[in-house]
């Protein structure tokens, strides 16, 4: 609705302005942040800032357009429900952070979409789109001082409510609950599941070690070659024994918590062996870690970070996210130094903190009757050593 017209620009004028600049205007929402962005030529930066400022501060939210947009969002919800990986991670968050805001989906329930009103939208924007909680970042052919002048002049109507995101989080903290959700559907050929433990918040010093541990566990797909010769022992086991179609370690950090685990897609008769391989490699991080594995994982992590901010859009997004999360942008040299400080003993210490004898959250969908039960996974967060 932000892009459906303002007091001075109707939808047609807004679209024509962007088209005439050869630009691109869009937005996306994650669980903790909403991003509005414009991609334009160097000479049109001022115009792009003006459009963003106008849409964020002066949108009309016409009732007729809201009613029309409902159907668009409901169709979008149907598309998301067709993306099985997205759905599974929604279920994982819902069970891991049940009865807390982080357990809710981004789009929300269909009933909310059908009943939301103009007043709801205006109240939400007045509450959350405030100056202390907003960052304007830019990357590429941008003059910093000019950008600051544009922002000072154009973003003058933002509410100055001093409430911070940390204060909102403190009111409703995300509490991890060891639990599971299983949706059995024997009509589809492949099962998918994710098993996770509570991870570290974004600002936790151990979040860097968890990033290295994610790289150690690795990711693999049957459609790509080389799995049998990759450094990750988990990937080697999966590829050599052909017990999965694809698998991926994940580490997601939020303001006050996180999720660390493995997602996998497999044939129904491989679930037992695959589950054992995943839990064995995760719990092994508490006991046996080689310096060579850690060095390889550190180098892979540094490479993926650099590749992730390859373009101007990615760099601007990275700047904004880090300013909201840390209050500053961490220089690449500092980040790499923190990664290089992670050694085998650090990995074992952090694994003992987050994995050893900790509750797990499991989400599974498809033909999953052969997936081991919850207590089986819970017992394998530690290894019995004799």
Residues 6+ apart with CB under 8 A from 130: 158, 159, 160, 161, 163
Residue 70 pLDDT more than 50? yes
Average pLDDT over residues 260-267: 96
pLDDT of residue 150: 92
pLDDT digits (tens, 9 = 90+) for 20-67: 989 898 898 888 889 999 999 988 999 999 999 988 888 888 888 888
Look at residue 164 in the predicted model and tell me its pLDDT. 73
Which of 213, 181, 209 shows the shortest CA–CA distance to 195? 181
Per-residue pLDDT tens over the stretch 220-257: 998 877 767 788 899 999 999 999 999 999 999 998 99
Domains 11-97+101-166 and 180-381 share a fold: yes
Share above pLDDT 90 across residues of the chain, in percent, rounded to a whole number = 59
pLDDT of residue 258: 95
pLDDT grade, residue 384 (50/70/90)? low
Tokens standing for residue 77: 């919800």
Position with higher pLDDT, 109 vs 346: 346
Taking CB atoms within 8 Å and a gap of at least 24, the contacts of 7-16 are 7/58, 7/60, 8/54, 8/58, 9/51, 9/54, 14/51, 14/55
* 303-326 pLDDT per residue, tens: 999 988 888 888 999 999 999 888
Q: Which of 142, 252, 146, 158 is nearest to 201 (CA)?
A: 252
Burial tier of 334 (Cβ tally within 10 Å: 0-12, 13-18, 19+): exposed
Long-range (24+ apart) CB contacts under 8 A made by 143-151 are 143/45, 146/45, 146/46, 147/45, 147/49, 150/45, 150/46, 150/49, 150/50, 151/49, 151/53
Residues 6+ apart with CB under 8 A from 357: 381, 382
Q: Is the pLDDT of residue 98 over 80?
A: yes
To the question of domain 11-97+101-166 being in CATH 3.30.830.10, the answer is yes
Q: How confident is the model at residue 127 (pLDDT cuts 50, 70, 90)?
A: confident
- In 3D space, the residue among 335, 174, 323 whose CA is nearest the CA of residue 255 turns out to be 174
In contact, 26 and 87? CB cutoff 8 Å: no
pLDDT at 93 over 60: yes
State the angle between helix axes of 207-217 and 332-340 in degrees (0 to 180), rounded to the nearest 10.
70
Alpha-carbon span 228 to 245, nearest angstrom: 14
Give the per-residue pLDDT at 1.
82
Give backbone dihedrals phi and psi of 183, rounded to 5 degrees, phi first: -115, 105
Give domain limits for the chain: 11-97+101-166, 180-381
**Beta-ladder partners of 252:** 259
Which one is predicted more confidently, 130 or 162? 130
Q: In terms of Cα–Cα distance, which of 247, 252, 244 is closest to 325?
A: 252
Fold of 180-381: Cytochrome Bc1 Complex; Chain A, domain 1 (3.30.830)
Residue 136: what pLDDT?
A: 93
Residue 323: the pLDDT is 92
Average pLDDT over residues 343-351: 96
CB 25 within 8 A of CB 77: no
């Amino acid at each position: 609705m932000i892009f459906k017209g303002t007091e001075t620009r109707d939808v047609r004028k807004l679209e024509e302005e962007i088209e005439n600049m050869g630009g691109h205007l869009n937005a996306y929402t994650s669980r903790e942040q909403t991003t509005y962005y414009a991609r334009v030529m160097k000479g049109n930066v001022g115009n792009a800032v003006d459009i963003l400022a106008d849409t964020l501060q002066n949108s009309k939210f016409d009732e007729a357009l809201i009613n029309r947009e409902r159907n668009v969002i409901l169709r979008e919800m149907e598309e998301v429900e067709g993306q099985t990986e997205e759905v599974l991670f929604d279920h994982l968050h819902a069970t891991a952070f049940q009865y807390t805001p982080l357990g809710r989906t981004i789009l929300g329930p269909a009933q909310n979409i059908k009943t939301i009103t103009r007043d709801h939208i205006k109240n939400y924007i007045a509450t959350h789109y405030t100056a202390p909680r907003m960052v304007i970042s830019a990357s590429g052919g941008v003059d910093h001082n000019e950008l600051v002048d544009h922002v000072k002049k154009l973003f003058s109507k933002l509410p100055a409510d001093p409430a911070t995101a940390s204060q909102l989080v403190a009111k409703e903290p995300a509490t991890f609950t060891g639990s599971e959700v299983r949706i059995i559907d024997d009509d589809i050929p492949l099962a998918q599941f994710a098993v996770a433990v509570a991870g570290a918040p974004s600002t936790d010093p151990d979040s860097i070690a968890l990033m290295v541990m994610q790289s150690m566990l690795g990711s693999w797909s049957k459609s790509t070659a080389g799995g049998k010769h990759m450094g990750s022992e988990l990937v080697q086991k999966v590829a050599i024994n052909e017990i999965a179609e694809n698998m991926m370690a994940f580490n997601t950090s939020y303001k006050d918590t996180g999720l660390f685990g493995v997602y996998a897609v497999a044939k129904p008769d491989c679930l037992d062996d695959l589950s054992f391989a995943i839990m064995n490699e995760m719990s092994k991080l508490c006991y046996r870690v080689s310096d060579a594995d850690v060095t390889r994982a550190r180098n892979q992590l540094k490479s993926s970070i650099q590749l992730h901010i390859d373009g101007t859009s990615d760099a601007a997004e990275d700047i904004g996210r880090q300013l909201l999360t840390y209050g500053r942008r961490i220089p690449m040299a500092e980040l790499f130094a923190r990664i290089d400080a992670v050694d085998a003993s650090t990995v074992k210490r952090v694994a003992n903190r987050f994995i050893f004898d900790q509750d797990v959250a499991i989400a599974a969908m498809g033909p999953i009757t052969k997936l081991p039960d919850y207590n089986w996974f819970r017992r394998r967060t530690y290894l019995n050593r004799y």
